[in-house]
Structure 1
């Protein structure tokens, strides 16, 4: 065997199968709650809040897009100078081909919550506020 011939698979196999114990498995099985990431749990909370609103307001919300972003952009709106935005409503722009959009910001919302119950309640409140703004109604009417 020539000296310049290196077998890469042999080296990587040694790292993955340390001391002959076999390949490592997942740290958490999929049946435990820790399997889901925080962003997946947040997305589920948003979907649940939107589904509850769509039961009553399906016709008005049929063309609305809901989205999640990590943090708000660095250029706040004039009315948001003193606080961090938790969500925003963006009106439709037919010239650009955009429909009405509601965006929730994951990190600011999660940083204000200590557990899943608070997270679901705050997500529900932010979605209601933004949809109320979209529909021109009071959030308590929704």
Structure 2
């Protein structure tokens, strides 16, 4: 028994499914020019960049070789001094033999989990970055950022 091919659906019918009620084609709810377009992770990255840029203006010579990075969570194998607490950030010194620059890493998820409002989140990000820069420079965090 030979089956007959199915008839092709006319192009106008295919198009009508997408605009079934005459409201236009589906598109983004928020245009890319508005702040709501960015994801939470992108907004978090921007907070870290703002704090890092502020500190780089104050300590340009000391921080010009330091990279700032954001990771979701700290590695599963903590350092010996971090066994009792979850790391919120970490400084990795430069390794000239391997060609690696100094790096300050901020861990997004542990910080976000501790904050309830966007204001608290911005404050916590600032505190973590300032603490890591202060540890790297061997200074008190209040000397690095008096605010």
Shorter chain as normaliser: what TM range? Answer: 0.7 to 0.9
Q: Which runs of 5+ in 2 are unaligned?
A: none
SS in 1 for 2:47: helix
Question: How far, CA to CA, are the matches of 1:120 and 1:70 in structure 2?
Answer: 16
For this pair of structures, how many residues does the alignment match?
A: 140
Q: Equivalences for 1:11-90 in 2 at 5 Å?
A: 16-18=18-20, 21-30=23-32, 33-90=35-92
> Larger radius of gyration, structure 1 or 2?
2
Question: 1:110 maps to which residue?
Answer: 112
Structure 2 partner of 1:98: 100
Which structure has more helix as a fraction of its residues? Answer: 1
**TM score, norm. by length of structure 2:** 0.83
Question: RMSD between aligned alpha carbons?
Answer: 2.4
> Structure 1 residue aligned with 2:123, among 112, 121, 127?
121
Distance across 2 between alignment mates of 1:21 and 1:118: 41
Tell me how far apart the structure 1 counterparts of residues 135 and 12 of structure 2 sit (CA, whole Å).
Answer: 61
